[in-house]
Structure 1
Amino acid sequence: MAEPVLPRGRFARGLRGPEGLRALDGPGALPRLLRRSPLRRLLPTTVRARATVGAVLVVAVALALASFALLGLLEANLLRNAERDAARQAETIARLAASGDLEKMRPTLHGVEFVQVVNARGRVLRAYPNLAGEFPIVPGKPLRPGKESHTLNAGPLGGEHRQRVVQVTTETPQGMVTVFVGTSLRDVDAADDTTAAALAVGGPLLLATVAFVTWRVTGRALGPVEAIRAEVAGISDRDLHRRVPVPPTHDEVARLAQTMNTTLDRLESAGIRQRRFIADASHELRSPITVLRTQLEVALAVRDPELWPELIGGALQDIERLQQLASDLLLLARIDAAQPMAPARLDLGAVVRGAVDARLGDRIPVRTELADGVRVDGSALWLARVVTNLLDNAQRFADRRVDLVLHTAAGPGGRTAVLEVTDDGPGIPPGDRERAFERFTRLDDARSRDHGGAGLGLAIARDLAAHHGGTLTAEDSPRGARMVVRLPVAGGGDPEPR
């Protein structure tokens, strides 16, 4: 098998060895060679340059096609006019020859340079003085009645210009006679030369104008884009308050700047939430760790074994609180990271019933009213966590009653599963209902700490509901708090009859 012939010179330096052979093989060899070729440096690399080159190429192609078409139409029109005059003269002389009146030939029309009448034996019967003594023009084809025309680069009169010759053959009393009438194409050639020179001069000027205008226009159009790029390049994680300039053009670039500022708004809000979350989490972790350390130090200092169980029991409670807080923080991190859940078709009533039955030692029994056949798509573990968090919140503040109701209702997008958890506690003021779902928020800080809450339960429940395409809101209630979860029913259909 013959070895492949590699290119020589500087272009071949990067093509030696197995890598070079692979670069020459396969359907993508040419693009790879172009990427390595020094010619790639000549290609425009900016949008402005590519737009200018593209506009110039398009106009150049269009100009070339238009120039060829213009020259062709101009020459055809001038040839037609010249041939018309010559044909009129030739037909007039042919009629005189047919009637035997060649002596009545008149002077040539304007534009006609020569006339020659030749019989079938090649004898010149009549000619204007400018062809006197010249050899007869030989017909290009055998004589037969009719009219033909052709162009001569060097006619009977010579000269630097072409000539259009019209040949009319007719029957006469003396036999077949051919009339040759020629007209100079001097005007046609002059018009062609003038037009070609104008196009040769005007074409490059037009292309230069197109290049200049395109360069300036694209520069002005891309100027705001460059300003946006420069501003974004200067924004660091500590400068998220900065915004890109929005041009007053109300076009795509302005919308791009507005979208970029909206994205920066979201990034700034996310950064603020993250810093606030870290600060709040550090504060929440510091308190039980401090108490735990104090209890352990006291246990080391106390020599009475009878006090150790009480001290160790308090330390275990703080450890349990730390474990719960760490679990909540981990769950929030998973939700914020938008980790995909494993969706499954679930009977929401069975999930809620399982979450209620798993609760042991509730201070107040939970009264349930669950509709059958309410099916949703989601994670059973996370939906059960929503129910658990809502019941934990209700148990902390309820006086003597906690109710849980599951039913369906009609919504704008189809049937909706509605889960309501109500209690007869102090309730939530209307102005604090949204703030209650913020992370580490305690509307009654002292009471929440006494009940062991860290201010994450409702925030986690809302995030999990949103992750399932639903909502969690605090709504009006005759007494106490009323938390309402709305989730889309699977398939948007009605639940099964009870």
Structure 2
Amino acid sequence: MEARRLSLLPASMRARSTLIIGSACLIFLAIIGAGIDFLVTDRIEAGVFRDAQRTATNWVGSMAPGQIPRPAPEGRIDLLQLVDDHGRVVMASPAAAGRPPLGTIRPPKDNRIQDGTVCRPGGGCVMFTVIRLPPLDTSEIFGGESHFVYSGTTQPSILAGHRLELVTTTGVLLASALVAWGNWWVGGRALRPVAAIRATMADITVSDLSMRVPEPPGRTEYALLARTANQTLARLEEAVRQQRRFASTTSHELRTPLTGLRARLEEAVLYPGDVDPRQTIRDALTLTQRLETIVEDLLVLARLRSGIPAQHEPVDLAMLVREAIATLPADGVPICVRAQGDITVHGNRVQLVRVLDNLLANARRHAHGKVEVTVGRQGDRAVVAVTDDGDGIAHQDRERVFERFVRLEDGRRREPGGSGLGLAISRDIAHGHDGTLRVEDSPRGARFVLDLPLMDLGDSSPPTSGDPPGVAGFGALPQTPAWRA
């Protein structure tokens, strides 16, 4: 039933508001018009009856035994008649001469004055007041026979033929139509920005996201809507641009090992006598392993970018760093750890281990003699700094290394089979934990700093001069002995 009632309304908001406001205005003005009709009719009738009663009373007062003066009209009251008890007209004013009695009302003795309106076909309507002569006058003048004085006038034209109702109804309809038209016009001007936004949005396609909707001036709802739409379009354009760039880069990165794998297999098929099958299989396995690494990293990156929430739990960063170092090969560059106690964050253990593995593996790969890892707090933040003593990263490349598939020349030389996604995944994980991952200045080598919010702020001590840059509070709490892996 509700759906059927709603379906009767127009689909356009402009038409709906016009219909609703016009209907409400019509009802409101109809009530006012009816009240005005009642008040005007009552006021006119009261004035006519008052004048008729005064004129009739004056005529009755001028009567005397044996002397009944001819009635004289007063103002608009021009119809006067003296009627006996049998309904005969005894005397009348010039305008009422030859007419039948103005009415048939015979007031009783206890209510001698009454008002009435009589309408006759073709003769219009007459408003009158009838007065029953007092008993004394009746006895002295007419020998006890009851007589009645009728005093009235033709009904005013404003009341005749429902003219007042017609005028009021016409005024109500015109006023309602004017209000509805005004609402339609104002609604059209108000919705003009929306129509422009809709037209522009209809022209925007996936192949061209550079168009923007027109922004009205000021801070109206339409202006805010247009700005929000343009901001959304800008983000969408940037996301599509990144997606296309990512798809192009991904296809290139996947095409390289696939081309190498196909070349090895075709060579083995075309020249079976010149190619060692075992070596071909080993090369194919190496290329397949690289493909598998790239695909796995892409899946991880896709899950992180999709915003799927991961299960979080309290994680002791110092313990996590030691566990990550313990899983590394023992024949690599030694790692020195300085960890402050009670550094607990709320995060996903598996994802944080992946970040630490990437940072430690990169640091070991580029270090000449050692890697330093510090774990501490800075205000309400937990900070993990991984520093190597290698050649470092040029300032202009410090942000590029976090882009997907970006591998510097030194990285390609030291690890030819890498996917180039490790640091991009690590930064996404840091952002997913409301943290940051960045490259900071270091006297020598590269310094990666992981910054995460502490789960329990506790009491942080002021930094001391012996603390490494970016990590505060090591001098105030008992510090675990430095150890090497």
Alignment partners' CA distance in 2, 1:289 and 1:240: 33
Match of 1:4 in 2: none
Match of 2:289 in 1: 320
Does the aligned pair in 1 maintain the 2:138–2:147 contact within 8 Å? no
Instruction: Verify: 1:437 aligned to 2:437, yes or no.
Output: no
Q: In terms of Rg, which structure is larger?
A: 2
Q: TM-score, normalised by structure 2?
A: 0.71
Match of 1:369 in 2: 339
Instruction: Verify: 1:163 aligned to 2:131, yes or no.
Output: no
Alignment partners' CA distance in 2, 1:352 and 1:191: 102
SS at match of 1:72: helix
Match of 1:341 in 2: 309
Q: In structure 1, which of residues 236, 239, 260 is the aligned counterpart of residue 229 of structure 2?
A: 260
1:317–1:495: structure 2 CA closer, same or farther, 3 Å change rule? farther
What is the CA deviation profile of residues 221-274 of structure 1, one whole-angstrom value per residue up to 9, with x for unaligned ones?
A: 545544443443333322223334445687544443433333222222112111
- CA offset at residue 329 of structure 1? 0.8
Does the aligned pair in 2 maintain the 1:79–1:188 contact within 8 Å? no
1:420–1:111: structure 2 CA closer, same or farther, 3 Å change rule? farther
SS at match of 2:401: helix
Instruction: Verify: 1:57 aligned to 2:31, yes or no.
Output: no
- CA offset at residue 369 of structure 1? 1.2
Alignment partners' CA distance in 1, 2:158 and 2:117: 13
Match of 1:472 in 2: 437
Moved more, 270-279 or 387-396: 387-396
Instruction: Verify: 1:81 aligned to 2:51, yes or no.
Output: no
Q: 1:422 corresponds to which letter in structure 2?
A: T
Does the aligned pair in 2 maintain the 1:437–1:458 contact within 8 Å? yes
Q: 1:369 corresponds to which letter in structure 2?
A: A
Q: In structure 2, which of residues 210, 221, 229 is the aligned counterpart of residue 241 of structure 1?
A: 210
- CA offset at residue 360 of structure 1? 3.7
Q: 2:314 corresponds to which letter in structure 1?
A: L
SS at match of 2:448: strand
Alignment partners' CA distance in 1, 2:435 and 2:113: 89
SS at match of 1:341: coil
SS at match of 2:379: strand
Alignment partners' CA distance in 2, 1:85 and 1:166: 12
Q: 1:494 corresponds to which letter in structure 2?
A: L
- CA offset at residue 111 of structure 1? 3.3
Does the aligned pair in 1 maintain the 2:404–2:420 contact within 8 Å? yes
SS at match of 1:421: strand
Match of 2:457 in 1: 494
Match of 2:411 in 1: 447
What is the CA deviation profile of residues 291-331 of structure 1, one whole-angstrom value per residue up to 9, with x for unaligned ones?
A: 445566777869799x8877765554443332222111111
- CA offset at residue 277 of structure 1? 0.9
- CA offset at residue 110 of structure 1? 2.3
Q: From the two aligned structures, give the one with the greater helix fraction.
A: 1
Match of 1:31 in 2: 4
Written as runs of structure 1 = structure 2, the 5 A alignment for 1:324-403 is 324-338=293-307, 340-349=308-317, 351-361=320-330, 362-365=332-335, 367-372=337-342, 374-376=344-346, 378-399=347-368, 400-403=370-373
Does the aligned pair in 1 maintain the 2:106–2:148 contact within 8 Å? no
Moved more, 177-186 or 227-236: 177-186
Does the aligned pair in 2 maintain the 1:374–1:495 contact within 8 Å? no
- CA offset at residue 70 of structure 1? 2.7
Match of 2:471 in 1: none
Report percent identity of matched pairs: 34
Alignment partners' CA distance in 2, 1:465 and 1:88: 101
Does the aligned pair in 1 maintain the 2:129–2:151 contact within 8 Å? yes
Count, aligned residues: 448
Does the aligned pair in 1 maintain the 2:335–2:371 contact within 8 Å? yes
Does the aligned pair in 1 maintain the 2:133–2:148 contact within 8 Å? yes
Moved more, 121-130 or 313-322: 121-130
SS at match of 1:66: helix
Written as runs of structure 1 = structure 2, the 5 A alignment for 1:92-241 is 107=72, 109-113=74-78, 129=93, 130=96, 134=101, 138-139=105-106, 143-144=109-110, 150-154=115-119, 159-163=123-127, 165=129, 182-184=151-153, 186-187=155-156, 189-190=158-159, 193-201=162-170, 209=178, 214-241=183-210
Alignment partners' CA distance in 2, 1:264 and 1:190: 67
What is the CA deviation profile of residues 132-176 of structure 1, one whole-angstrom value per residue up to 9, with x for unaligned ones?
A: 995996455x5437x876442349xx9512525376998969899
Alignment partners' CA distance in 1, 2:213 and 2:252: 36
- CA offset at residue 332 of structure 1? 1.4
Does the aligned pair in 1 maintain the 2:18–2:183 contact within 8 Å? yes
What is the CA deviation profile of residues 197-243 of structure 1, one whole-angstrom value per residue up to 9, with x for unaligned ones?
A: 44455555555555655555544554554444344333332222333
Alignment partners' CA distance in 2, 1:88 and 1:319: 120
Alignment partners' CA distance in 1, 2:361 and 2:267: 32
Q: TM-score, normalised by structure 1?
A: 0.69
Unpaired stretches in structure 1, ≥5 consecutive residues: 1-26, 411-415
1:162–1:123: structure 2 CA closer, same or farther, 3 Å change rule? closer
Alignment partners' CA distance in 2, 1:352 and 1:169: 122
Match of 1:72 in 2: 38
Does the aligned pair in 2 maintain the 1:417–1:486 contact within 8 Å? yes
SS at match of 2:228: helix
SS at match of 1:347: strand
Alignment partners' CA distance in 1, 2:321 and 2:132: 108
Does the aligned pair in 2 maintain the 1:78–1:188 contact within 8 Å? no
- CA offset at residue 54 of structure 1? 4.1
Alignment partners' CA distance in 2, 1:52 and 1:392: 70
Q: 2:4 corresponds to which letter in structure 1?
A: P
What is the CA deviation profile of residues 341-371 of structure 1, one whole-angstrom value per residue up to 9, with x for unaligned ones?
A: 2433323435555444443445332514154
Does the aligned pair in 2 maintain the 1:90–1:179 contact within 8 Å? no
Does the aligned pair in 1 maintain the 2:124–2:154 contact within 8 Å? no
Q: 1:423 corresponds to which letter in structure 2?
A: D
1:173–1:435: structure 2 CA closer, same or farther, 3 Å change rule? same
- CA offset at residue 383 of structure 1? 2.7
Does the aligned pair in 2 maintain the 1:151–1:165 contact within 8 Å? yes
Alignment partners' CA distance in 2, 1:168 and 1:360: 131
1:53–1:125: structure 2 CA closer, same or farther, 3 Å change rule? closer
Unpaired stretches in structure 2, ≥5 consecutive residues: 461-476, 478-485
Alignment partners' CA distance in 1, 2:72 and 2:325: 122
Alignment partners' CA distance in 1, 2:168 and 2:103: 41
